[in-house]
Structure 1
């Protein structure tokens, strides 16, 4: 079976499908192809608004080798640009910083506003002459990358030709519309990362199914059992799982976090965990939500960036400080339980005779949904 035809084994109903072939996890050529067809042509997450909290904050990001710059403008809007000067291609910002004036190129001092427009070109027309008839500043602003901020995740479309984010994820935006309200980031204790020796897709596949709970998360499964979960599948956009039994975290005095406002009854004891394609994993509850950004550092290396948020009522209230830290510790422990699984699957993909595996039609629908989406992106890009 050839590499190009083998993805067709995924593009059939779950009861007949096999998973993505091994090369999608171990082949450098396939990693490069998916960089374009799966990541650059869609809406991956690259960072969080909390990374640039104040006007003038700028953070450089290396996304699969492409230099990007995330900036919060004076009007508090987050923008994303290619982190490259339009003059000679110099990297503009090397480390996170707050920019009080303009973004200045360290090479020839061309300067850009926080909105990307070119402000000044010193000596471009000769010593002491800062203009030249052939240098049109209006045409030489920083290259802006399409971006959209949702739930504080900064999504980008690098190819520039994907449908609007709101169109791609209309179903999910409607599904979680109740949570469109002010949220508070839990601070340093609510921000952590895990470095994993696996392909980023395996982290998505593991996250969006509950099948593994009894064996991998026995503590969680003790009260939110396998049979308490349901599948979430929207072809072409996202998949995951929900639970009918969410148990709020309590401190030693029995205190819990305040709820988000005006939620419907389904959230009294329910929660949902969704993989937003391609690389964002979200969990939402009555009293907090988190996002995991999967950074694909290499074909077998992924960094999981985790941020946790709470109702605005938690802000500046020291009564919740210990509980916020305890909640982060609990989630970190749960996420760490998955590490040997996704790393083990990565090692297993080196088995030449593995054929993509067999899905359980009853249990693996959300995972097959993701495989189907990846295969569809690759196939479509090959046809263009």
Structure 2
């Protein structure tokens, strides 16, 4: 059942009347491939974080839904993304994360590139001992750069190159979180972890969007930040999520807390917000830390979640950072059985996508509406 016969109009109805995306959008490889093109390649999607390449020369290969990309920090400190292939015969250039000490050298014929993508050397290209040839114009054969933008340390990419500027597309959320327009400091090794989940990436987005499941899936969290302390966030066509009016800081054994981000309005003393920025980046902001989750779709039924925690300063206590990471890891692990259970449920042939609670599922419906609109070609 290909997605070409999906009734997108039924999905895009008001939340009280709408159905969810039907099974093929979670189980069908052909539908998954079409979603890749329309929902990821034609938009701004999250690739990695700039903290993955902290020093000049650091390079990290990334499999971006089947496309080999290279994340690299240049000698000038700028983070760039290139196709991870040599312009000679298409050989993969960098197979593992590493520091580029000199040039990026192709392991096949030793063509060499600078960290800014320029082709700088072509050994024996004109014959033995002849390193130039009139037919090989190095100025036009640099690495193929992928359009990218860094916001909140996330490296966003637009593979097609056709999307409007990132700042224009996401001006709404940038303005909403202008209070958090501050430097972010990655917490280091203890503040990054991954979760390998057997579900379609969209189910991870849907679950993150809503607070409806808190009492049953996160009883510990719900004990102090209750369902009734949450509110829905909906920006149709852009993002959706939830907010809490009762955020409680983590404290060390000595009562210490993380430093707050500077100059925050009093509202954020007890508030927090959690937003899914479509298609695949989940963001959380609090007075004293933030986190980013980049969803990496591996297949229609498998997703890797890359979680990173950030702080207002780079000198926070390691034990408190470790405790905070452990706390969030517990919360995110509690969601795994839910998203994997929904994935298994998508094998039931009679399931038509389900219905939404008009009061509680608005953020999830907002995401379904975005998916349906892009696939229908009206966004």
Instruction: Tell me the TM-score normalized by structure 1.
Output: 0.96
More deviation, 238-247/125-134 = 125-134
Q: In 1, are the aligned partners of 2:122 and 2:131 still within 8 Å (CA)? A: yes
Residues 333-352 of structure 1 aligned to structure 2 (within 5 Å) = 333-352=330-349
In structure 2, the residue matched to 1:216 is 217
Paired residue secondary structure (1:172): helix
Distance 2:339 2:169 in 1: 28
Q: Is contact 1:7–1:21 with CA below 8 Å preserved after alignment?
A: no
Structure 1: give runs of 5+ residues left out of the alignment: none
Q: What secondary structure, in the 3-state scheme, does the structure 2 residue paired with 1:380 have?
A: coil
Match runs of 1:99-248 below 5 Å? 99-248=100-249
Query: How much does 1:183 deviate?
Result: 2.0
What corresponds to 2:60 in structure 1? Answer: 59
Structure 1 residue 276: Cα displacement = 0.8
| TM-score (ref. length: structure 2) | 0.98
Q: How does 1:307-326 map to 2 (within 5 A)?
A: 307-312=308-313, 315-317=314-316, 320-326=317-323
CA displacement, residues 70-109 of structure 1 (integer Å, 9 cap, x when unaligned)? 0001111100000010000000000011001111111111
After TM superposition, list the pairs within 5 Å mapping 1:35-114 onto structure 2.
Answer: 35-114=36-115
The Cα offsets for residues 269-301 of structure 1, whole Å up to 9 and x where unpaired, read as: 000000011001011000000001111011111
For 1:313-351, what per-residue CA distance to the aligned partner results, in whole angstroms no more than 9, with x for missing partners?
Answer: xx235xx11111100000000001100000000001111
User: Corresponding residue for 2:258?
Assistant: 257
2:287 is paired with a residue of what secondary structure?
coil
Q: Is the 8 A contact 1:248 1:256 kept in 2?
A: yes
1:23: Cα distance to partner?
0.3
| Structure 1 residue 163: Cα displacement | 1.2
Q: Secondary structure, in 3 states, of the residue corresponding to 1:20?
A: coil
RMSD: 1.3
State which of 352, 365, 378 in structure 1 corresponds to 2:362: 365
The structure-2 alpha-carbon separation of the partners of 1:76 and 1:2, relative to structure 1 and needing over 3 Å to count, comes to closer
Which residue in the other structure is 2:30 paired with? Answer: 29
